[in-house]
Amino acid sequence: MSGLWSRLSRTHVTLAGAGALLIVLLVAWGVSGALRMQAVRHEIEAAEHDIATLRARAALLTQTIDRLRNDPAYIEKLAREEHGLVREGETVLKFPSKPK
């Protein structure tokens, strides 16, 4: 009878050890999996923020294109401010800049 008990004990110990190892592996995998999921969520949030920023920029560019195509006053404003152009007959007054 002692042989049967020793075989059962070894089997139980082996099964218990395998079960404990399995539990440790599952816990470790679960923790690393949770950390990876959190990192992926952060990457998704950053990508969504970038998308929103790019969509806003695209909307502004679309508006600028529309104004360039259809708004002569806007084109004149750009010509005056960015290129220093004036209409014929206008007098340009230039003042020296103030010293710092």
Over residues 19-29, the pLDDT tens digits come to 888 888 777 77
Instruction: Classify residue 74: in a domain, yes or no.
Output: yes
Encode pLDDT of 48-91 as tens digits: 999 999 999 999 999 999 999 999 999 999 998 898 888 888 88
Classify residue 90: in a domain, yes or no: no
Please tell me the distance from the alpha carbon of residue 84 to that of residue 78, in angstroms, as a whole number. 9
Cβ atoms of 75 and 68 closer than 8 Å: yes
- Within a domain: residue 12? yes
Q: Is residue 58 part of a domain?
A: yes
Instruction: Kindly state whether residue 39 falls inside one of the protein's structural domains.
Output: yes
- Total structural domains in the chain? 1
Is 91 a domain residue?
no
Cα 85 to Cα 26: distance, rounded to the nearest angstrom:
73
Nearest to 9 by CA among 41, 17, 22, 96: 17
For residue 100, tell me if it sits in a domain: no
* Structural domain boundaries enclosing 79: 2-83
Report the half-sphere exposure of 84 (CA within 13 A, side-chain side). Answer: 3
User: Global pTM?
Assistant: 0.54
Asked if residue 7 belongs to a domain, the reply is yes
